[in-house]
Amino acid sequence: MKTKGLAAVAAAVATALVLGGCSQLIRDRIYFPSPLAATPSWERQPEPMTVTTADGLTLRGLYWAPQGEERDVVVYFHGNGGNLHRDGAYAQALARNGHGLLMTSYRGYSGNPGRATEAGLSADADAFVAEAYERLPTGGKLYVFGHSLGGAVALGGASRWPVSAVATLGTFGAIADFAPGWVRGVMPDRFDNRQAIARITVPVILFHGTADTTVPFAAAAELRAASNGHAMVVPLEGAGHHPDMQRLAPLVWEALKN
């Protein structure tokens, strides 16, 4: 009995080690952290900022405070392979006309410490949204916007945060949709947006390019079907995975506010 018991323990430890290694290998195929790009030319100079996550990591961000009569702020979560400066340059059109924008970055990305995991990115998002509420002017509303993987971060957190609305761009149904069948059962990170969107009670606007070859347009319809009526699909005719944000930004703000 003792020998069998030791053998069982050894087998359990070996399995855990194998699965642990497998998990990291899978994560290495899921996430593509990008280092911090060179500082771009800003249309309106943002304020560099940092947040501290619940597990003690310090992450970089950028903040464009609302100006003039504007009070509202949108928190932007970038996609896989993105970084604070490159995606900040892409997203900065959302800060036009005095709108507020808080640009986030994740652990392992943009020179930040840590390694990306689904739980880790959720913790990162919580820290940035909490900071956004600290900075939100009196009477202002807070919104969240996520591009691709960032859409998964936004949808996953929207049931935890008292935001007024959520917008996504080019977001998938679940990350397992892109994995071979044999991998799906052992994937450590799921980003199941179909389940997440069903828990959200505020309006969700799903922007998606009809010519998106990274995340097919059909994913938007799947998410809408899973949303219990809270989501609206906005097709971007002929657009790919990175549509022109200069043209998209006014549509995003109009949809979020209405």
One-letter identity of residue 144: V
Residues 75, 151 contacting (CB under 8 angstroms): no
Q: Which residues, in sequence order, are CB contacts of 112 under 8 Å at separation 6+?
A: 57, 58, 59, 60, 105, 106
Of the ranges 55-59, 173-177, 240-244, which one carries the lowest mean pLDDT score?
Answer: 173-177
Q: What is the mean pLDDT of residues 233-238?
A: 98
Residue 161's closest CA among 125, 188, 113, 198?
A: 125
Helix (H/G/I), strand (E/B), else coil: 55: coil
- The pLDDT value recorded for residue 17 is 38
- The pLDDT value recorded for residue 205 is 98
**Rounded Cα gap, residues 232 and 50, in angstroms:** 33
**Rounded Cα gap, residues 21 and 17, in angstroms:** 6
Beta bridge partners of 169: 147, 207
When the pLDDT of each residue in the chain is averaged and rounded to a whole number, the result is 90
pLDDT band at 3 (very low <50, low <70, confident <90, very high): very low
Q: How far is CA 174 from CA 106, 170, 253, in A?
A: 19, 12, 26
Of the ranges 21-35, 126-140, 193-207, 222-236, which one carries the lowest mean pLDDT score?
Answer: 21-35
Q: What is the pLDDT of residues 17-48, one digit of tens each?
A: 344 556 777 677 778 899 999 999 999 999 99
pLDDT band at 215 (very low <50, low <70, confident <90, very high): very high
Q: What is the pLDDT of residues 131-170, one digit of tens each?
A: 999 999 999 999 999 999 999 999 999 999 999 999 999 9
